A and B are shown apart, each in its own frame.
Chain A
């Protein structure tokens, strides 16, 4: 208690809402209302074309423009996004990776246009492309080029925008792809080590200033429902980061060794069934990253109760923001010192995590480090295996999920009375409008200046110079996101990351009802093979820019484990490619997985192209975040079945798939 008898409270963390959709103008309006509701920082969600370096008029952007985030194609969009929001007073977090150098360049250029000196800008670029290969899937270039972009951004801001967090090393997305706490700790740390080693290797930062780089490293972490263990995980992070920065990089200033992190709590565990329960999960998970004063988050953004249904509306996000505000301002949490210092239980669990994570860090370093362990598929395969184990535990009931595999009966919820309106839907006209705006933009700009800027960009990409300067110049010249990325694609090429599924081993119980079900499914496929002459062959396809791979991966390995021959080509495959694969591979069944919301554009396109190729008789099923009205439309258009997260029993899905192949064979 302070002298005057008033309680001295800690400063609360920064509260954000991850948002953006449709257009820059619509998102700007949303940011203003969010700030008016007491949010203290901005968190920009970009649409998938912007994240993967395509303009709205690129064929690959079909169905994705303005859907899951805001499209930013050029400096005009960036200006509109922050119109009336003075950039010297904002703290802006941008979830941007492969195109981070470009989006930061647009932000810097927009600030300059506002008359703001870039050196005062505050905020974060996610800029962790390593985890894109492992989980998030918006990478463009091969790992070496990505690492170069990461380090270019870091060396630029450390010098020129000192308050900027140039990178958020992400463990969040690893947990969303199935990582255990140990894996989350280990793989985030090896990523940070890989990045710092790479910065060192550029030779651009004098040894005496390297501590500044280390001090600007920040992390983006997850917190799952096992919130006590998660709390310990955060304490383990603090301890391990202190060790790495001290021992590997010789940083002596404790401030530069601090583990600074932001959080989005777990969304993978949020359910479609009884979605109102998700609010309770979200609040418990928030405790893991706030209760320990010594390991408290700097910034928090929470998902919404309707996470597994579709995009959140402003009211849904407001509910989550209120949860943060109640914890920070109503409760007494911020009045105390660290609650767990000296707790034997917490300390013991923390040490267990420290040790297991450190062992896995050594394992990856032994394999050559983060980049090598990405390229070889080692880490990805570990994640796929963990995720498979998690799903199996839910399916068998070993891991209780209330409303899903236990306590499933309940009164109907008034929140979901009108399910189709319980989510945000994006006006399909947005796509065309953005394309038209792009045409106008290109007509009105100085195309000679654009050509020159792109030539310079290309020159620097081939040389050993920082990409930021030519990118900022290109931003001012009116270059578009697609032009920036395509120029670099030509120099560096593109990269398809390992899928991790081929070698993934799933331990199955040898007996019991689960084993019996598997045996039954295997027997059916063996019988079907005898009748068809060939083993049933399944193509799992992910059309569009969607990077959500969990579902496709788990369906693919499960299908293999019950006896299908499975072709899975990874994320971001075009409808043309899917149809070509179906034709050449002679598959019996096609399963499409789409979670980004572009199913109404992409699924019918695949079905139509199959028909044109004379493959109209191959059954097609679809899975993902597909609202029931849309599912109905797809089924009417010839899709044999549609699956959503509530269909968590993979064995049942497999049984259906076998039925489909069987029926089609019988009809032949």
Chain B
């Protein structure tokens, strides 16, 4: 592939030219320091894309094997039928030993290969401390500039449930009937309330209804004992039963997604910005701990700094890297 010609490519991304979108994704995945300027320029050029502002970034998370990929596939097909275009980022874990990965989510999705309005990119976590891939945030920004809806499928393990909040407008937690997963999550306190809960594999009506009822009960209990924080007091997370294989419940899921997107309308810009700030700081803290934070002036100061820098075109990744360098330099000075 020839090296990309930036302004031209950005324009083509906006028109959802697949080759250009693919090149742009390759670029944001590029970890070479010399690529960073180009990444920053590209993302800046895509920042005010009409699709990005009006679009919807949906994060799907949940334990391995609950059907996230199958559901992504069913969801994307339905959304396409409704006329909107869809970009998908599917994230799988990298092997710690080899650095390689088997990107298996795509195998569970079936799409018309000639559909210009649908794009799927698999990303490996590439050893990030969190559950999201290194370039996930930037990849989402690229796809958001090209497609109406962006769906992010996480690995569902490790930190990805938290990370996904930083890149998605709407977080959907997927569970299966009778698995008790939700209760586990809530008890462990590692998860704030997702915006939407999906009980997938609800292939039979009866089973589905029971599962939804169980889940509702569990949520209420959890709330009563204060086990859930909830990042949005004004939103009652709906519970939707789906069968990704049979295609049932998908329309309800789309309605729930649209409902949440509408609910966010006024606060969306802040939410997205907040997510990025948070992600940059989380990445940095995971690498360098509290000591890192305090060395660079403490959480509050870094927060303000992050907001400023992100406004100036930094990405969470590049910001984190800058902060790391500063921290290392600071360490060098203090004996």
A residues neighboring B (CB under 8 Å): 142, 376-377, 493, 496, 499, 501-502, 522, 525-526, 529-530, 533-535, 556-557, 559-570, 574, 576-577, 579-581, 583-586, 613-615, 617, 668
**Interface assignment of B215: CB less than 8 Å from any CB of chain A:** no
Given A496-B108, A584-B119, is A502 in contact with B102 using a C-beta cutoff of 8 Å? yes
B114 with A576: CB separation less than 8 A: yes
CA–CA, A563 and B35, complex, Å: 22
User: Taking the nearest CB of chain B, how far is it from the CB of A517, in angstroms?
Assistant: 13
**Interface assignment of B65: CB less than 8 Å from any CB of chain A:** yes
A585 with B98: CB separation less than 8 A: no
Residues in A with CB closer than 8 Å to B124 are 535, 565
A564 with B113: CB separation less than 8 A: no
B120 with A566: CB separation less than 8 A: no
Q: Give me 26 A-to-B residue pairs in the complex whose CB atoms sit less than 8 angstroms apart, sorted by A's number.
A: A377-B65, A493-B246, A499-B104, A502-B102, A522-B99, A534-B26, A534-B30, A535-B126, A556-B102, A559-B100, A561-B97, A565-B103, A565-B124, A566-B103, A568-B107, A569-B106, A569-B107, A570-B107, A576-B113, A580-B111, A580-B114, A583-B19, A585-B103, A586-B23, A586-B26, A617-B1
User: Taking the nearest CB of chain A, how far is it from the CB of B25, in angstroms?
Assistant: 6
The one of A377, A534, A566 that contacts B100, using a Cβ cutoff of 8 Å: A566
A584 with B121: CB separation less than 8 A: yes
User: Taking the nearest CB of chain B, how far is it from the CB of A510, in angstroms?
Assistant: 11
A562 with B98: CB separation less than 8 A: yes
Residues in A with CB closer than 8 Å to B23 are 586
The one of A501, A562, A613, A668 that contacts B102, using a Cβ cutoff of 8 Å: A501
User: Taking the nearest CB of chain A, how far is it from the CB of B43, in angstroms?
Assistant: 16
B106 with A567: CB separation less than 8 A: yes
A583 with B101: CB separation less than 8 A: no
Residues in B with CB closer than 8 Å to A563 are 98-100
CA–CA, A79 and B198, complex, Å: 53
Q: 17 other contacts beyond A565-B100, A568-B103, A576-B114, with CB at 8 A cut-off?
A: A501-B104, A502-B104, A533-B30, A534-B29, A559-B100, A562-B98, A563-B98, A563-B99, A563-B100, A565-B124, A566-B103, A567-B122, A568-B102, A568-B107, A584-B22, A584-B120, A586-B121
The one of B25, B99, B122 that contacts A526, using a Cβ cutoff of 8 Å: B99
B100 with A535: CB separation less than 8 A: yes
CA–CA, A569 and B3, complex, Å: 28
Which 8 A-B pairs rank lowest in CB-CB distance, beginning with the nearest?
A533-B30, A502-B104, A580-B113, A533-B32, A563-B100, A560-B100, A576-B113, A563-B98
Residues in A with CB closer than 8 Å to B29 are 533-534, 586
B22 with A583: CB separation less than 8 A: yes
CA–CA, A576 and B97, complex, Å: 34
Output the residue of A502, A529, A569, A584 with the most chain B CB within 10 A: A584
Chain B 25-46 interface 0/1 with A at a Cβ cutoff of 8 Å (1 = within): 1100111100100000000000
CA–CA, A630 and B324, complex, Å: 55
Residues in B with CB closer than 8 Å to A613 are 19
**Interface assignment of B220: CB less than 8 Å from any CB of chain A:** no
CA–CA, A533 and B23, complex, Å: 13
Given A565-B124, A567-B122, A586-B121, is A581 in contact with B103 using a C-beta cutoff of 8 Å? no
User: Taking the nearest CB of chain A, how far is it from the CB of B229, in angstroms?
Assistant: 32
A579 with B113: CB separation less than 8 A: yes
Residues in B with CB closer than 8 Å to A586 are 22-23, 25-26, 29, 121
Residues in B with CB closer than 8 Å to A565 are 94, 100-101, 103, 122, 124
Residues in B with CB closer than 8 Å to A557 are 102
CA–CA, A564 and B102, complex, Å: 8
Residues in B with CB closer than 8 Å to A534 are 26, 29-31
A560 with B106: CB separation less than 8 A: no
Nearest-CB residue, chain B, relative to A567: B103
Q: Give residues of chain B (52-85) contacting chain A, Cβ–Cβ below 8 Å.
A: 65
Given A496-B108, A586-B121, is A560 in contact with B95 using a C-beta cutoff of 8 Å? yes
Residues in A with CB closer than 8 Å to B95 are 560-561
**Interface assignment of B295: CB less than 8 Å from any CB of chain A:** no
**Range class of the B interface residue count:** 35 or more
Residues in A with CB closer than 8 Å to B92 are 502
Residues in A with CB closer than 8 Å to B25 are 586
B18 with A568: CB separation less than 8 A: no
CA–CA, A570 and B94, complex, Å: 19
**Interface assignment of B245: CB less than 8 Å from any CB of chain A:** yes
CA–CA, A560 and B93, complex, Å: 11
Residues in B with CB closer than 8 Å to A617 are 1
Q: Give residues of chain B (110-135) contacting chain A, Cβ–Cβ below 8 Å.
A: 110-111, 113-114, 119-122, 124, 126
A566 with B102: CB separation less than 8 A: yes
A560 with B107: CB separation less than 8 A: no
Nearest-CB residue, chain B, relative to A560: B100
User: Taking the nearest CB of chain B, how far is it from the CB of A37, in angstroms?
Assistant: 45
Nearest-CB residue, chain A, relative to B92: A502
A533 with B99: CB separation less than 8 A: no
B122 with A564: CB separation less than 8 A: no
Residues in A with CB closer than 8 Å to B108 are 496
CA–CA, A637 and B97, complex, Å: 37
Residues in B with CB closer than 8 Å to A376 are 65
Residues in B with CB closer than 8 Å to A501 are 102, 104
B31 with A561: CB separation less than 8 A: no
Given A535-B124, A586-B121, is A525 in contact with B104 using a C-beta cutoff of 8 Å? no
CA–CA, A556 and B25, complex, Å: 23
B113 with A574: CB separation less than 8 A: yes
CA–CA, A614 and B18, complex, Å: 11
Residues in A with CB closer than 8 Å to B101 are 560, 565-566
CA–CA, A234 and B43, complex, Å: 64
A525 with B99: CB separation less than 8 A: yes
User: Taking the nearest CB of chain A, how far is it from the CB of B109, in angstroms?
Assistant: 9
User: Taking the nearest CB of chain B, how far is it from the CB of A387, in angstroms?
Assistant: 15
CA–CA, A529 and B29, complex, Å: 11
User: Taking the nearest CB of chain B, how far is it from the CB of A231, in angstroms?
Assistant: 38
B107 with A583: CB separation less than 8 A: no
Output the residue of B1, B107, B114 with the most chain A CB within 10 A: B107
Given A576-B114, A581-B106, is A525 in contact with B121 using a C-beta cutoff of 8 Å? no
Residues in A with CB closer than 8 Å to B21 are 584
Given A577-B113, A579-B113, is A499 in contact with B107 using a C-beta cutoff of 8 Å? yes
Output the residue of B19, B22, B113, B114 with the most chain A CB within 10 A: B113
User: Taking the nearest CB of chain A, how far is it from the CB of B113, in angstroms?
Assistant: 4
Nearest-CB residue, chain A, relative to B87: A584
Output the residue of B111, B122, B245 with the most chain A CB within 10 A: B122
The one of A496, A499, A530 that contacts B110, using a Cβ cutoff of 8 Å: A496
Residues in B with CB closer than 8 Å to A529 are 31, 99
A525 with B31: CB separation less than 8 A: no
B104 with A142: CB separation less than 8 A: no
CA–CA, A577 and B113, complex, Å: 5
User: Taking the nearest CB of chain A, how far is it from the CB of B134, in angstroms?
Assistant: 10
CA–CA, A150 and B3, complex, Å: 55
Q: Give residues of chain B (196-219) contacting chain A, Cβ–Cβ below 8 Å.
A: none
B1 with A525: CB separation less than 8 A: no
Residues in A with CB closer than 8 Å to B100 are 525, 535, 559-566
Residues in A with CB closer than 8 Å to B102 are 501-502, 556-557, 560, 566, 568
User: Taking the nearest CB of chain B, how far is it from the CB of A99, in angstroms?
Assistant: 21
CA–CA, A562 and B101, complex, Å: 10
Nearest-CB residue, chain A, relative to B99: A563
Q: Give residues of chain B (278-333) contacting chain A, Cβ–Cβ below 8 Å.
A: none
User: Taking the nearest CB of chain B, how far is it from the CB of A160, in angstroms?
Assistant: 32
Nearest-CB residue, chain A, relative to B64: A503
Chain B 206-250 interface 0/1 with A at a Cβ cutoff of 8 Å (1 = within): 000000000000000000000000000000000000000110000
Nearest-CB residue, chain A, relative to B108: A496
Residues in B with CB closer than 8 Å to A493 are 245-246
User: Taking the nearest CB of chain A, how far is it from the CB of B35, in angstroms?
Assistant: 5
Residues in A with CB closer than 8 Å to B103 are 565-568, 585
